[in-house]
Amino acid sequence: MTQSKKDLGFLILRVAISLLLIVHGIARISLGIVGDFGIFLTGVGFPLGATLAWAITLIEIIGGLLLALGKWTTPLSIYFAVQLLMGIVLVHAQEGWFVVGAGRNGMEYSTLLIVVLAVLAYVSNGERK
């Protein structure tokens, strides 16, 4: 495989995961559930749950846009992987592995996203453009 095909493949992967993250944040705002997210975060022990919920939501949108543009790929990929890992720990692990079919709301989707983000962080070689 040529280097240009690899670069195009990683570009497609980076933009696709960025769009998923952006849509996640936009959906939380448009559905009016940022406050609910904040209540959840406070309930599991995080201080300033509402502020943290807004910060996470805005980072999904703004950080997702930056990631799509190839800016700060490594640090953003690591941040989003940790965010998804926290989602697994706090929500999805107790639901099991499967998202649909043999289960519901499990951790398989988040695990796949973490792997994709780990690959992006690795191939970007620490770039912080």
Q: Which residue has the tokens 């700060």?
A: 72
pLDDT at 127 over 70: no
For residue 129, pLDDT over 60 is answered with no
Predicted local distance difference test score (pLDDT) of residue 126 = 61
Q: Using 50, 70 and 90 to split pLDDT, how confident is the model at 3?
A: confident
Q: What is the pLDDT of residues 31-72, one digit of tens each?
A: 999 999 999 999 999 999 999 999 999 999 999 999 999 999
Amino acid at position 13, single letter: L
Enter the pTM of the model.
0.93
- Amino acid at site 57: T
What residue ranges do the domains of the chain occupy?
A: 3-123
**Distance (Å, rounded) from C-alpha 76 to C-alpha 78?**
5
Q: Calculate Rg over the CA atoms of the chain.
A: 16
Tell me the pLDDT of the chain averaged across its residues: 95
Other C-beta atoms within 10 Å of 3: how many?
7
Quote the tokens at residue 125.
């070689």
Q: What is the pLDDT confidence band of residue 84, given thresholds at 50, 70 and 90? A: very high
Spatial separation of the C-alpha atoms in residues 67 and 80, rounded to whole Å = 10
- The larger pLDDT score, comparing residue 89 to residue 127, is at 89
